[in-house]
Amino acid sequence: MRVIVTGGAGFVGSHLCRALRERGDDVVAVDNLVTGRYENIAELETDPGFTFVRADVSKAITVEPPVDLVLHFASPASPPEYLALPLETLDVGSLGTRNALDLARANDARFLLASTSEIYGDPLVHPQPEDYNGNVNPVGPRAVYDEAKRFAETLTITYHRLFGLNTGIVRIFNTYGPRLRPADGRVVSNFLVQAMDGKPITIYGDGKQTRSFCYVDDEVRGILALADSDVVDPVNIGNDGEYTMLELAEVVIEITDSSSEIVFEPLPADDPARRKPDLTRARTLLGWEPTISLREGLRRTHSWYLEERARA
């Protein structure tokens, strides 16, 4: 297979590129590096089955045929980053998705959209099954991301209905692991770096809000299982262990053997109070489930952060 990965130099995208190369697929990563890093894919540079194209997918995606699969992962994903790039985020969810869908259509390829648990907004149903339609504030600051992804889902299903394109939608829940940039601003990277530096751990709000954290290897296995299937309906892929941010901070302090104290800072607007995937669909349709515990995943991520520092 020849696979196009938009956002291939990002955190999840670079793991996908590597996993695809390991199973023998040819890979073209298309990325403008707005939130990604070339270092994430630098080791694939000399691999003849891998090509990197630096381009903004909101403008155009020019890749020669054949294309068998398009994984559309380009988009800022960390809240501080998408809040700093509001128009770019809206563009990549709308124009970028349209360009990626057109590429799949021109090549009669399967298309998989990287959607998000954020489409459920601040959920009123818990845990969140795929048929829950969500609770998003369309004029709140986070809407640049949430509504872009909701629009992207609508565009994707419209290409399926109108043109019979073979499409899929993966709703990714908070994923972490090696290559999550230390300065990316998401909670796992913030807490790990703060704990390693002995600096205060910044909890936003009272820390009782919950998230469900999935280790990247589990996430990538689930994404590829969905890409390899012919499932059209959205599928949640994440880990259904649920933790408060206070609990996460405690585990991070324990794993890093840190003396950091905890400090409380204001909660960002529209920050969801709780989040946990209902994984029935992934388990039933894909036979997939997460296997790596939060402790084990954080240990592996911490080891990578230590290696990164040693390399630097």
Assess 74 for contact with ligand NAD (CB under 6 A).
yes
Q: Which of ligand UDP, ligand NAD, none is residue 112 near (CB under 5 to 8 Å by kind)?
A: none
And the tokens for 284?
């039933």
Assess 137 for contact with ligand UDP (CB under 6 A).
no
How far is it, in rounded angstroms, from Cα 153 to Cα 298? 31
Assess 304 for contact with ligand UDP (CB under 6 A).
no
82 carries an active-site annotation:
no
Choice between 100 and 165, CB closer to ligand NAD: 100
Assess 172 for contact with ligand NAD (CB under 6 A).
yes
| Residue at 166: amino acid letter | N
Choice between 69 and 260, CB closer to ligand NAD: 69
How far is it, in rounded angstroms, from Cα 156 to Cα 4? 16
- Contact with ligand UDP (CB under 6 A): which of 110, 179, 186, 281? 186
Q: Is 94 exposed, middle or buried (0-12, 13-18, 19+ CB in 10 A)?
A: middle
Choice between 92 and 203, CB closer to ligand NAD: 92
Assess 52 for contact with ligand NAD (CB under 6 A).
no
Least Cβ distance, residue 172 to ligand NAD (angstroms)? 4
DSSP structure string for 73-122: --S--SHHHHHHSHHHHHHIIIIIHHHHHHHHHHHT-EEEEEEEGGGGBS
How far is it, in rounded angstroms, from Cα 302 to Cα 165? 41
Nearest alpha-carbon partner for 237 in 276, 274, 279, 272: 279
- Contact with ligand UDP (CB under 6 A): which of 103, 225, 245, 252? 245
Which residues, 6+ apart, have CB-to-CB distance to 93 below 8 Å?
Answer: 75, 145, 147, 148, 149, 151, 152
Count of residues in contact with ligand NAD, rule CB under 6 A:
28
Q: Which of ligand UDP, ligand NAD, none is residue 128 near (CB under 5 to 8 Å by kind)?
A: none
Least Cβ distance, residue 177 to ligand NAD (angstroms)? 9
- Contact with ligand NAD (CB under 6 A): which of 3, 4, 57, 286? 57
Backbone angles phi, psi at 79, to 5 degrees: -50, -50
Choice between 6 and 128, CB closer to ligand NAD: 6
Choice between 47 and 205, CB closer to ligand UDP: 205
Strand pairing of 69-72 and 2-6? Answer: parallel
How far is it, in rounded angstroms, from Cα 304 to Cα 312? 12
Assess 200 for contact with ligand UDP (CB under 6 A).
no
Q: Reduced to 3 states, what is the DSSP secondary structure of residue 241?
A: coil
Least Cβ distance, residue 251 to ligand UDP (angstroms)? 13
Residues serving a catalytic function are 145
- Residue ranges in contact with ligand UDP by CB under 6 A: 79, 174, 186-187, 190, 202-204, 209, 211, 245, 267-268, 271
